Every structure is written in C-alpha cells, then in structure tokens.
Amino acid sequence: MRRRRREAIEGYLFLAPALLIIAAFHVWPAIYAFYMSLYRWEVAQEGFLGLRNYQHLLQDGDFLGSVGLTVVYVAGTVPVEMAVGLGVALLLHQRLRLRGVFRLLYFMPYVTSQVAVALVWGWIFNPTYGVANAILETVAGQPRTWLLQPDGVFSSDLPPSLALASIMFVTVWYYLGFHAVVFLSGLTSISDEVIDAARIDGAGGLRMFRDITFPLLSPTTYFLLLVATIGAMTSFNLVYVMSSGQGAGCGGGPLGTTRVAALFVFDRFWCQTELGYASAAAFAVGFVVVVITAINNRIFSRRVFYG
C-alpha cells in the first residue's frame, strides 16, 4: 500500500504542470466567465442579474439570428468538406506519380495561418482589383461585390448572403486538406485481405465503395463529423478577418449577414463592452454546441463499425 501510494503521488506530480496550465488557462477563465454572465458587467461589475442575461438572449433577435447563420454556415461547409475530402483521399490512395507531392499541396492550406489565408482571399474577392471579378469578367459574367454583397445566393431574403457564401467557400478550401489526410489514414488502415476477398467475390467500383470501403471508414467519418461540426460552430478567425477587412468592423457585415455566433459574442464583448451579456452568450453557444454534438452522437454512433 505504501509503494502504491508513493507511485500515485509521483504520477500526480508528473501530471501537475499540465493540470496547472489547464486550470489556469481553461478551467478558471470558464468559471470566471460564468460568474460574469450573472451580472450586469459593462467595463466594471454592476448589479447582480442572476439568469436574466440568459433570458434576454432568448428574446434577442440578433443573437437568435447569429445562431441561425451559424447553422447555415455549418450545413454549408461540413458536408462539402467531408465529401470533397473523401473524394480527394480516394484519388490520392491510388498509385499515382508524385502522390506525396499532391498530399503535401492539399494539406498545405491547413497548416497556414488562418489570418494570412483570410487576408489573401479578401484581396481575391476585392470588388475593385480582385482576381475573382477579373475571372468572372473573362467568362462574360457580371462583376460582384462578393464580401460586400448582403443579398442571398438563392433568394434575396434567405441566407447565406453572397458574403457569407464566399467565406464558406474559403472555409471548405482551407479544411479540405485536413479531411483528405484523415480519410487517407482511414483508407490505409483497411486490410488488403478484405479488399482482395471482395474483388474475388466480384465487387468493384461503386459497389466496392458502398459495401466495403465506406462502412470500414465509418469510425473516421464519425470522428471528422464531430470535429468539423464543433469547429464550424465556433468558427471565428476566417469570418472575422474577411468581414472586418471590408470595413465591417465587429458587426459582421454587410448588414450583419456574416455575424455568426462567435462573432456576435466578440461584438458584444469587445465593441459593445457588454461583458456580462457576452459571457452569457458564449455559454449559450457552448450549450448549443453540446446539444448538437449529443444529437450527432445519438444518431451516428450506432452506425459506426469497428470490426
């Protein structure tokens, strides 16, 4: 018992630095942010409000609209990232010349700074000197204002706006390499014996993918679905830089059509200095993320095959 106790103490001592860092930079800020959300806190702490900040969120059209835009953003990026990433992974899994070079090129955007990526794409979508309009005019298209255009892509009144759709396109481009590499690792883990046995039984092409490859990729698909959904729900860098680079500031322009939930929290905290209300909004967004993650887990975890 004494030896086990000593080993346990030594183990906790090895864990102590990491635990202290997590406590100082994750646990304590979260506790303090929840404490702030219970107060009217504008620069300085004011009156105690209890849960009234959370009640106000349920009646705040701007917050509910930002959550709706976040759902549109997730629905328009995550499935596309996964589908295109899987297609690229299937191509790179073949015996191609310079396969390693192509893998590097597809993964390179993901290891690039999001701020740098957003700035470059902001220049591309610039309505005055951007490459996007130059290409559009070459094929006899009408020039667009891209990140400054609040009109919807499919309808003038329905999201996503052209500005948000442009940011969604950049998001898909940025995360494509990550999905491709993870799917590629899943493909390499599939046993060659299973593939050879399926081919002997006459499976090939679409049937091979539908009945063999895709079911065996279900753990990888499930992992990417959870990670990509959580990341898109809390996306901030690309949206903020591409919006603010067009003179929109904190508001998520044009006309708030790119104000996703994370940008709403930033706007209320940094620009409006409503610190308590912004903290409540952050916890509400976190709750939505937990609920969506739980729903994904409930629906898709039963379809994962670990054989």
User: What residue segments make up the domains of the chain, in order of their start?
Assistant: 2-37, 60-303
Dihedral through CA 307, CA 175, CA 206, CA 90, nearest 10?
-80
In CATH, the number for domain 60-303 is 1.10.3720.10
pLDDT of residue 248: 54
Q: List the pLDDT tens digit at each of the 307 positions of the chain.
A: 889 999 999 999 999 999 999 999 999 999 999 999 999 988 788 889 999 999 999 999 999 999 999 999 999 999 999 999 999 999 888 877 777 788 888 889 999 999 999 999 999 999 888 899 998 888 877 888 899 888 888 877 788 999 999 999 999 999 999 999 999 999 988 888 888 888 887 777 788 888 888 889 999 999 999 999 999 999 999 999 998 755 556 767 777 889 999 999 999 998 888 999 999 999 999 999 999 999 988 888 888 877 6
Cα–Cα distance for residue pair 170/219, rounded to 1 Å? 27
Specify the residue for token string 């490859």.
213
pLDDT value for 173: 95
In angstroms, the CA 114 to CA 17 distance is 30
Which residues, 6 or more positions from 30, have their beta carbon under 8 angstroms from its beta carbon? Answer: none
**pTM for this entry:** 0.90
User: Count of alpha carbons within 13 Å of 230, Cβ hemisphere only?
Assistant: 14
Residue with tokens 């105690």: 48
Q: What is the pLDDT of residue 275?
A: 92
Q: Is the dihedral of CA 38, 42, 43, 44 positive or negative?
A: negative
Q: Would you state the pLDDT for residue 247?
A: 53
Helices (H), the chain: 2-22, 28-37, 52-57, 61-92, 99-107, 114-124, 131-138, 162-188, 192-200, 206-208, 214-216, 218-233, 237-244, 261-266, 275-300
